[in-house]
Structure 1
Amino acid sequence: MAMGALVHDRESVRLEPVEPRARRTARVVTAVVAVGYATNSLVTVVVGGLRGTGLLAFLGCLSVVVTLQLAHSSPGALAWPRPVRSVTLLAQVLATFAPAAWVGPQFGAAAGFVAGSMLLVIRSRARWALYAGVAAGVFVAALLQQQGWQALNLAYAVHFTLLTGLMLYAVGSLSGIVAEVSASRGDLVRMAVVQERLRVARDLHDLVGHDLSAITLRYELGYRLLPAARARAATELRDVLDVVRRATAGVQAVAGGSGRISLATEKSAALATLSSAQIEATIRISDVTLTGRLDEVMAVVLREGITNVLHHSKAQQCQVELVVEGDTVRLRMSNDGVDTVPEDPAGRGCGLGNLAARLAEVGGRLTTRSQGEWFHLTVEAPARRQAPAADRHQPDTSPRERWPRGAGPAERWGPKTTSAIVLLVLSGYALTILLNIVWTGPSVAGALGAAACVVTMLVMQLLLTFGLLRTPWARRAAMAGQAAVTFLPLLWLHAPWGSMAGFVAGAVLLELRGVLRWALYTALGVVVLTLAVLTGSSVSTIAWLTISTLLTGLIVYGVSWLMTLVREAHSARTELTDEAVEHERLRMARELNEVLVDGLSQVALRGVLACRLLNVAPERAPSELEGILELLRRMLADVRNVASDYRNLSFTGELDSSRAILAAAGIEVTIDLHGRTSDQKADAVLATMLREAVTNILRHSTARHCVIKSEQGSLTIRNDGVEPSSGQPAVQDQHGLGDVARRLDGVGGRLTADVEDGWFQVTAFL
């Protein structure tokens, strides 16, 4: 089977993404919280007696603060140029603290917004100092008011500023991470697929190529032994069948992602191979057991070293020694019969270059030197840096486990950081509720009882938020218990308090679904409002109690749900990447099966026939061996071609990976191919065009459908999700597609692009 064969295919793949829903929820929660806290701030200053021009001025400043806060909470704010971020932060700081001149102590009600902005848009670690500096500014400004602030009021002002800032940072950053997961998922899947191709290419050369070389050598030896040493030739032909079977298993293992080999097995194989080649071999491997990846790498080094001896020398002697000296494993290989070679191992072809890459994975290095007719290869690796053997398609530096450079908010957040921030936000709101209770002036016993209830509420919420209760009945029981301790303090406090039912409101939104949860959420707000009315609270207090409860519930729900969605997004990203890699592996397995497994089966069958002919018709055996050798030479060429195609860009390979990437991004893909070019240069250009087009779809559109259509002499890629624009886009002005246009010019083609009815279309003509 030729690589890049004609494909006639039409299919659709659909995966509903979760990220758009998460981003919408994040924006809604952030906007509602900002408006809600702004409303509370406005109520506070009105209750404080602010009227007329002063109130209008405060309202103007508050509008600036809220507007800038929403801008700073957008996922792209961290990427703004530094001057822009500095100006917007300065404007928000001025709008926050300026009202202190005429509003009085109530000015600090909105200071949490600027504290959150410090964390959201400042890149350096100084953001935490500035975040604390905002709270310190509120403290100092309150003292300067000289209105006899009580210690509890000061503590509440500082605490609420820090809590609001941390909450806004959490909501803003978590939504940014979810957006970033969606934007970068295509790149991550592409990286995983490319890595899988390179793994197969490397293993084809290092593992399968060696076996084919050894098989060819043994058959050549058997051919040369005829007719003088027919008995020995028969022995060689029988023995080589074991190598053929091992090579067949090796091809299947390479395509399957496993294919581990051991040093002990390679030692025996090396002795047999060198003996068959009539090379005097001395192999001394000390009595040491290497485990995990190091044993496999050393086995590959031994195999590749023997291959080099056979291919690049006229060796009569070969010496191999492996020793462990302290914390270092050292493998030395030496052979005669060579000319002077370069010191750079990568300069001797992809074999030793592959070894250098493999050794780098275990912290090792490779050196070579020549001395007269002798060539020396030395490999060193730390003995203690051994990890358990892992699947070969999942090396330690897998792109699925880390973010690409410049990832923005994701560089700041990991699972532990996310959990810590959510824990601090929830604990902070529990402390806020407790301070609101203390503000009502209960007795010591009453305060302690209320504190016990608040702690119970917090524990229940943490169990729900972090998913520690696995069964539905346990989660319902926790929510019911939370509701009970929410209202229990009314028995001795006899009045509602700020953020009273916030935790149970958040739990209701988190645990229930559909209209019911919003109905119960609203009902809790009505209950708090009714209690406030029945206890004779003022209008401003009624509004504050109700709004604070609903806001706290929304924040608890938003932070909890966003954290869950981030976890799901990361999990889905890994699963989708694994699916894309598995799809790529199956494709390569089909190709390798047609290229190599079928060929090896023919070699085995014809080898058995040659053995029989030695006994029944010895004059026909040389002709059969010649046919086997010719088949093996073609197979070696096929291995090189397949490995080269996996290393280099091909349209067929890029089509398969693009299909998986678009599906991973939740985009429905329709592929309709009816014609392909046989020119390798044009094929590479089309592959580049496809890659750039898919990149543009992922980064610059909200596409839900993509059509890839090929006809004789053209390739068209269409996607929806773009805004109509006047005129034809200037493809040449775009970096990615502009490069493709120039490359098409070089092969006599051209590139066009246009937008029509919300669909962007790019077409390459050859």
Structure 2
Amino acid sequence: MVVGPHLHGQERDRLASAEPRTRRVAWAVTATVAVGYATNSLITVVAGGLRGAGLLAFLCCLGVVVSLQLAHYSQGALSWPGRVRFVTLLVQGLATFAPAAWVGPQFGAAAGFLAGSMLLVIRGGARWVLYLAVGAAVLVAALLQGQPWEPLNLVYAVHFTLLTGLMLYAVGSLSTIAAELRDSRSDLVRMAVVQERLRVARDLHDLVGHDLSAITLRYELAYRLLPAAPARASEEMRHVLDVVRQATVGAQFVTGGYGRMSLAEEKTDAAATLSAAQIEAGIRIPDVTLAGRLDEVMAVVLREGITNVLRHSKAQQCQIELVVEGDTVRFQVANDGADAVPDDLTARGDGLGNLTARLAEVGGRLTTRSEGDWFYLTAEAPARHQAGSSDRHSTDGFSPTGWTREAGVAQRWGPKMASGIVVVVLAGYAVTMLLNIVWMYSGAAGALGAAACVAIMLVMQLLLTFGLLRKPWMRWAALLVEAAAAFLPLAWLHAPWGGMGGFVAAAVLLVVTGMVRWVLYAALGGAVLTLAVLTGTSVSMGAWLTISTLLTGLVVYGVSWLVTMVAETHAARSELAHAAVERERLRMARQLNDVLVDGLSQVALKGVLACRLLGTTPSRAHTELERILELLRRMLSDVRHVASDYRNISFIGEVDSARAILAAAGIEVTVDLRLGTLDKKTDAVLATVLREAVTNILRHSTARRCVIEGEDGRLTIRNDGVELPPGPRPVHSQHGVGDLARRLDGVGGRLEALVEDGWFKVTALL
């Protein structure tokens, strides 16, 4: 993937403009729907004849229900202490069911709010049990009232409660999703960068480290062969140049991928390496093609197994065998040079630990054992396991849908779940329309005709909601078909029917653009009200039909927008993660180029020179070999140091991470550091300060520029993305920053925050 300034700028502008608008519109839709359904509940009980003190008491209960519902909509409600959530749900439940004592059959008009709250603030599968329990409670309370309920009315009451709860859950999650997806952006990007570092650290050990070890082994062999066997020494030096070229490709492979390893190639290299080390080799690897990543993983197993034989044993024999039995692949590397081997060897050291992680990715496992002088390294994996793309550098492993945060509504809403709930909500509205038709109008033929129209409307709405109609004329055609299906039943029903214009109102909001759509949306509500008046419908029923039409339209528009928002935001987060990884990969490639590629070039050059000198000046060839060995030992040390840095992020590593993450978010970064040598404790504190500051920039600002400055005893991070009055800002009272302030207090430092000339500045003083 090619990532350039244009992409980052475009992504930055899209997120900067979309996210605030997303939150504003989400809250507007949420509040309007809550107030609208509360109004309809009030109309229902008034139409049922409730007046006086009973009506006033119902209004108080309804106010409590709606207030708690809006509180449950707030971001972070899911992470409230358990006791707080229990109390709020208990109070809402009492306010919901208490009116059953005096309201009559209409008591459950607001029960849908409670069902929605159960889904919003309860974790795990229990929320769905409690959601269904609310519907069951409505049924039980209705039966206990002793009213002459008709079965259809009971079905409608339970159905509408559950549908309203699911709809309120979907719409109520909009604002929380918008905020949480923005907040989690920095975490996901950081995870992507850290994962890439761990991959490079692992590959440095497994791939490049092996090559350097093999090169060192051959040059040491050539060095020892001089001056007694110059012909053998010359042959070894010619062979080692091929390994140097392979190591150069391996270094490129680690940081970007110029190909992939294969078991067939590694088999050939293993035979040559063992022969050069004068180890008798028995290699039994049949000509089979392993599926997906498995071939590459087994190639790495072979390479690491040979490395361990050369480094950690006094082996004289090595047996390598690959066996495919049914759906299982078993690969074994054994040698006769083992000393005492602990049982938990795979958990120790980088090499075997890395192999364990690689095999886990393809559903396999690694085991080790010793029998006498023989040590056995065995890898087993399913032959047909597909762990994902064969591209080892894919960032799918940290995709937003695969990563979970413990207390977050947004992480419940993957694209599949959003789509599923939207389908259920739309189908639920269609069922509600049918129940209204059956309930309010007689005549089987007329009901069937209206049902056919509802089915047509549902199909058209699903096509519009999921964006399946790509061309504008197709969307307009769907809107016209919906309108025709909505008003056609008037020819035989002779009066507005429940929810008749709801899907049409949603289609108008989805198809028409600009302010015109809201004008048409309002006009549709006015048309329903006019029809109600002209057909002699009661005032309360006319108001209910009008509000239901407008609310249904707004809800369907909201949940349709939810599907789009979830999909686009997940895609945007993936793009940010990919961009961060690409930048991090380029940075690491530059660093590894300095450590490896330049060094390997010198090794190759000195190797060619040594080969030429061998025939004319053996003593100078001997000297060149000494220099090559010294260079190789230094390179091995540098590789281990770099790999360790990638695993254990220091302050400098955190600076590199901040560059990648902020750049991926489209923020221009300037770094000016003159901190000198840091002790371990100070290094850790400054790394934490920088990480928290970068997180705050991504979560709570609209920054376009960030400056990171440091000198002895002071680290300052500034950004231009705040709209706060100038002057000092409190630090101990703020989450995140307050934790940093207390941590700095603990080491004798302090944290300062200041707004100056439109820039927010955080300074850590040590």
Query: When the two structures are superposed, what TM-score results if normalisation uses the length of structure 2?
Result: 0.90
Partner residue of 2:627? 627
Answer whether contact 1:13 1:663 (CA < 8 A) is retained: no
Take 2:655 and 2:420, find their aligned partners in 1: how far apart are those partners? 42
Change (3 A) 1:438 1:397: same
Take 1:667 and 1:24, find their aligned partners in 2: how far apart are those partners? 23
Partner residue of 2:488? 488
Q: How does 1:582-731 map to 2 (within 5 A)?
A: 582-662=582-662, 668-679=667-678, 681=680, 682-697=682-697, 701-702=700-701, 704=703, 707-713=706-712, 714-718=714-718, 721=722, 728-730=730-732
| 1:219-238 deviations in Å (ceiling 9; x for gaps) | 22223333333333222222
Answer whether contact 2:741 2:751 (CA < 8 A) is retained: no
Q: Secondary structure at the match of 1:68?
A: helix
Take 2:579 and 2:668, find their aligned partners in 1: how far apart are those partners? 16
Change (3 A) 1:109 1:207: same
| 1:470-519 deviations in Å (ceiling 9; x for gaps) | 22322222122112222222223332223221111111112232212111
Change (3 A) 1:475 1:48: same
Answer whether contact 1:225 1:233 (CA < 8 A) is retained: yes
Identity %: 69
Take 2:161 and 2:735, find their aligned partners in 1: how far apart are those partners? 48
Answer whether contact 1:12 1:671 (CA < 8 A) is retained: no
Offset at residue 201 of structure 1 (A): 0.7
Offset at residue 418 of structure 1 (A): 2.3
Partner residue of 2:750? 751
Change (3 A) 1:422 1:738: same
Take 1:676 and 1:145, find their aligned partners in 2: how far apart are those partners? 76
Offset at residue 338 of structure 1 (A): 5.2
Answer whether contact 2:525 2:546 (CA < 8 A) is retained: yes
Q: Secondary structure at the match of 2:293?
A: helix
What is the letter of the counterpart of residue 750 of structure 2? Answer: L
Take 1:134 and 1:731, find their aligned partners in 2: how far apart are those partners? 40
Q: Secondary structure at the match of 2:533?
A: helix
Partner residue of 1:272? 272
Q: How does 1:432-511 map to 2 (within 5 A)?
A: 432-511=432-511
Answer whether contact 1:363 1:382 (CA < 8 A) is retained: yes
Change (3 A) 1:516 1:630: same
1:215 is the counterpart of 2:215: yes
Q: How does 1:376-415 map to 2 (within 5 A)?
A: 376-385=376-385, 387=387, 390-394=390-394, 398=398, 400-410=400-410, 412-415=412-415
Answer whether contact 2:464 2:507 (CA < 8 A) is retained: yes
Answer whether contact 1:13 1:669 (CA < 8 A) is retained: no
1:205 is the counterpart of 2:205: yes
Change (3 A) 1:118 1:338: closer
Partner residue of 1:741? 744
Take 1:591 and 1:100, find their aligned partners in 2: how far apart are those partners? 72
Take 1:214 and 1:442, find their aligned partners in 2: how far apart are those partners? 88
Take 1:165 and 1:515, find their aligned partners in 2: how far apart are those partners? 30
Answer whether contact 2:697 2:703 (CA < 8 A) is retained: no
Offset at residue 267 of structure 1 (A): 1.3
Answer whether contact 2:613 2:621 (CA < 8 A) is retained: yes
Take 1:444 and 1:352, find their aligned partners in 2: how far apart are those partners? 73
Change (3 A) 1:347 1:553: closer
Change (3 A) 1:516 1:223: same
Offset at residue 92 of structure 1 (A): 1.6
Offset at residue 310 of structure 1 (A): 2.0
| 1:546-603 deviations in Å (ceiling 9; x for gaps) | 2111111001100110121011111211121111111111111111122211222222
Offset at residue 424 of structure 1 (A): 1.5
Q: Which has the higher contact order (CA 8 A, sep 6+)?
A: 1
Answer whether contact 2:196 2:585 (CA < 8 A) is retained: yes
Offset at residue 130 of structure 1 (A): 3.4
Partner residue of 2:33? 33
What is the letter of the counterpart of residue 64 of structure 1? Answer: V
Change (3 A) 1:102 1:339: closer
Take 1:743 and 1:376, find their aligned partners in 2: how far apart are those partners? 50
What is the letter of the counterpart of residue 335 of structure 1? Answer: N
Q: Secondary structure at the match of 2:409?
A: helix
Q: Secondary structure at the match of 1:292?
A: coil
Partner residue of 2:249? 249
Answer whether contact 2:580 2:663 (CA < 8 A) is retained: no
What is the letter of the counterpart of residue 732 of structure 2? Answer: A
Answer whether contact 1:422 1:559 (CA < 8 A) is retained: yes
Partner residue of 1:224? 224
Change (3 A) 1:146 1:621: closer
Change (3 A) 1:373 1:482: same
Change (3 A) 1:21 1:342: same
Q: How does 1:5-24 map to 2 (within 5 A)?
A: 14-17=12-15, 18-24=18-24
Partner residue of 2:5? none
1:557 is the counterpart of 2:557: yes
Change (3 A) 1:458 1:325: closer
Q: Which deviates the most, 295-304 or 566-575?
A: 295-304
Take 2:123 and 2:348, find their aligned partners in 1: how far apart are those partners? 45
Offset at residue 248 of structure 1 (A): 0.8
Gaps of 5+ in 2: 1-8
Offset at residue 722 of structure 1 (A): 8.4
Answer whether contact 1:318 1:334 (CA < 8 A) is retained: yes
Answer whether contact 1:100 1:141 (CA < 8 A) is retained: yes
Partner residue of 2:6? none
Partner residue of 1:311? 311
Change (3 A) 1:741 1:624: same
Change (3 A) 1:543 1:82: same
Q: Which deviates the most, 590-599 or 734-743?
A: 734-743
Q: Secondary structure at the match of 1:408?
A: coil
Query: When the two structures are superposed, what TM-score results if normalisation uses the length of structure 1?
Result: 0.90
Gaps of 5+ in 1: 1-10
Take 2:237 and 2:312, find their aligned partners in 1: how far apart are those partners? 24
Partner residue of 1:49? 49
Take 2:28 and 2:10, find their aligned partners in 1: how far apart are those partners? 33
Answer whether contact 1:344 1:367 (CA < 8 A) is retained: no
Q: Secondary structure at the match of 1:333?
A: strand
Q: Which deviates the most, 215-224 or 199-208?
A: 215-224
What is the letter of the counterpart of residue 230 of structure 1? Answer: P
Take 1:292 and 1:606, find their aligned partners in 2: how far apart are those partners? 39
Take 2:149 and 2:366, find their aligned partners in 1: how far apart are those partners? 72
Change (3 A) 1:350 1:140: closer
Q: Secondary structure at the match of 1:649?
A: coil
Take 2:422 and 2:735, find their aligned partners in 1: how far apart are those partners? 45
Q: Compute the RMSD of aligned alpha carbons.
A: 3.1
Offset at residue 273 of structure 1 (A): 1.0
Q: How does 1:290-439 map to 2 (within 5 A)?
A: 290-325=290-325, 327-337=327-337, 339-346=339-346, 349-370=349-370, 374-385=374-385, 387=387, 390-394=390-394, 398=398, 400-410=400-410, 412-439=412-439
Take 1:106 and 1:707, find their aligned partners in 2: how far apart are those partners? 58
Take 2:302 and 2:746, find their aligned partners in 1: how far apart are those partners? 43
Q: Secondary structure at the match of 1:378?
A: strand
Answer whether contact 2:415 2:563 (CA < 8 A) is retained: no
Partner residue of 1:120? 120
What is the letter of the counterpart of residue 379 of structure 2? Answer: V
Take 1:12 and 1:477, find their aligned partners in 2: how far apart are those partners? 33
Offset at residue 465 of structure 1 (A): 0.8
Change (3 A) 1:125 1:637: closer
Take 1:744 and 1:260, find their aligned partners in 2: how far apart are those partners? 48
Take 1:459 and 1:363, find their aligned partners in 2: how far apart are those partners? 42
